[in-house]
Amino acid sequence: MALPLAQEIIFGLVIGSYIALGAIGFTLVYGLVNMINFAHGEFVTIGAYVGFLSIQIAGLPLPVALVVTFFGTAVIGWAIARVTFEPMNDAGAVPLLLMSIGLGLVLRNLIRLVAGAGGRDVQVGVATYRFEDLGFFVTSQQLFIVGVTLLVVLVLHLFLSRTMLGIAMRATAGNEDLALVSGIDTRRVRNVVWLAAAGLAGVAGILLAVAQEASATVGFGQLLLMITAAILGGAGSPYGAVAGSYLLGIGIAVSVAFLPAGVTAFGSTMAFVVLILVLLVRPGGLVNAEVRTT
């Protein structure tokens, strides 16, 4: 049984990578803008289509397309947030959340209307590396997906810990009013957060488009997983979100492989059960964020 486990863990790392790229953005927005963004999945979808256009239509090689998608989705997402969320930043959590639900409905159906209900394949050459004596295989695609995610996490870490902007971001997340009186331009910080969140969601989108397909609901399908991972890690903590995502990804892959078929038929339903259990037992997640009312 030990050998298939290695294979399942590879699958889990891949699933965790998609979730992580989305969950980081979700949790940054949650921590800094103080809102639950139910339209975050649509940023992933936009990324999937930007990726599809740049690979299939413009014919860019994958690494270039990845960079194009990151910046393209970042700007689109930022512009959308600028028009919708930014003007009502002081309205409070619930109006922002309702706004994001409306925005999600609009974007999802707009994409469906323009791009059609069916999915679009993105063709990329894949090489498979087999380790026969160890009993598992890795594809170049899987290595690429996990590699990109780890690189992103590393860059994010350097950004948050070594640049003034990143430090300003952490300060704003900690206490927005204090950050403001210390001379931090919190508006600029929020702009950066939207750019980063949308850009990372875009990267998740192009990876999903390459590994599966680009469709109008590809991001929405990931949304509750991203939220689960973010809460599992501790809402508002990007490091927690990464850890939560990989735990969730490996958990899904391993349970699908080893639990009896009757249980795994529940599929991602299990993830939501996990979410509720986490909230019951340790609502602050891995990093024990402050979530109680009083």
Work out how close the CB of 6 gets to another protein at its nearest, in angstroms, rounded to a whole number.
29
* Cα-trace Rg, the chain: 19
Alpha-carbon distance of 229 to 251, in angstroms, equals 11
228 binds another protein (CB under 8 A): yes
Which residues make Cβ contacts (< 8 Å) with residue 95, sequence separation at least 6? 88
Among 6, 56, 76, 84, binds another protein (CB under 8 A): 84
173 binds another protein (CB under 8 A): no
- In 82-196, which ranges are E strands? 128-131, 136-139
180 binds another protein (CB under 8 A): no
Contact criterion met (CB below 8 Å) for 170 and 160: yes
Contact criterion met (CB below 8 Å) for 201 and 21: yes
Report the candidate in 231, 223, 240 with the shortest Cα–Cα distance to residue 274.
231
174 binds another protein (CB under 8 A): no
The burial of 116, by beta-carbon neighbours within 10 Å (0-12 exposed, 13-18 middle, 19 or more buried), is given as exposed
Place of tokens 């963004």: 37
- Paired with 16 in beta bridges are none
Work out how close the CB of 275 gets to another protein at its nearest, in angstroms, rounded to a whole number.
5
94 binds another protein (CB under 8 A): yes
- Paired with 211 in beta bridges are none
Q: Which of residues 190-209 bind another protein (CB under 8 A)?
A: none
Report the candidate in 231, 73, 62 with the shortest Cα–Cα distance to residue 147.
62
Among 4, 61, 63, 87, binds another protein (CB under 8 A): 87
Work out how close the CB of 59 gets to another protein at its nearest, in angstroms, rounded to a whole number.
29
Work out how close the CB of 110 gets to another protein at its nearest, in angstroms, rounded to a whole number.
6
- Which one, 212 or 264, has the nearer CB to another protein? 264
Among 3, 276, 282, 288, binds another protein (CB under 8 A): 276
- Which one, 140 or 264, has the nearer CB to another protein? 264
The residues of the shown chain that bind another protein, judged by CB under 8 A, are 36, 84, 87-88, 91, 93-95, 97-99, 101-106, 108-110, 112-113, 117, 224, 227-228, 231, 265-269, 272-273, 275-276, 279-280, 283, 291-294
